[in-house]
Chain A
Amino acid sequence: MPRILVVENEANVRKLVRANLTASGYSVLLAADGEEGLKQARLQNADLILLDLMMPGMSGWDVLEALKARQDLQKIPVIIMTAAVKENQEDGKRANAMGAAGYLSKPFTIDELLRQVRQALKRDGDTGNAPQAHPDC
């Protein structure tokens, strides 16, 4: 059962994502801010991270940068969630450039959420077998 870490400061959004992902058969971990998210990512061996961009304190960008900077965490796929203006494509491009696996624009449909999650995990399964062959890493 893939483990998905949700990093989101809005409690209701966390609840929304958890309810749907749990119902779809994923194991869900929750973090209310960036620091907590980074800590969970290190400790819980997540398979996927859903990351909100606009958070007080450490922003989603900071978390993404920190994840990609760490050798043991950079392989975990990250899906960006943001409530930024849809017309503003810069965030999507930037997320892509920083190695994000997906980009969810709030408000998003549940189908879109599940599709992106499945896609990210599948891609990870294709390319992520190598690290699994070395459980020590």
Chain B
Amino acid sequence: MEQRRLKDMSRSKIFNIILLQMIVIIYTINSIIAKFATKAEPLSLEFFLFYAGEVCVLGVYAICWQQMIKRFDLSVAYANRSMAILWTALWSVLIFKESLSIKQMAGIILVVIGTVVVNLQPGSDTGEGGR
């Protein structure tokens, strides 16, 4: 039954979900900058540049998010934000060579499953911009 639902998901919905996740990824770039910022000398030029970078990323995220919530139920779009946990974990492993515990991996898997379940909801997006 779930497989049939998956088939029923329109291409535009999948496209919108991918776009939404790209915006969540932009949001998580902040965590990378914040991590680098902690290594900068406080109140140095580098320090201010990192914080300016954070403000810029947040600004881009806010502008894009506003466009995306036209296309989704707010509750569905917001649930998709939880995937930030996956992307942030990915950056910490790939960029900062940190390791994840089994518990953390289990948590991430649950969040991914939960997000997929929410997205399988029929008619949770408007397909087009505006409603």
- A is bound by B: no
Residues of B at the A interface (CB closer than 8 Å) are none
Residues of A at the B interface (CB closer than 8 Å) are none
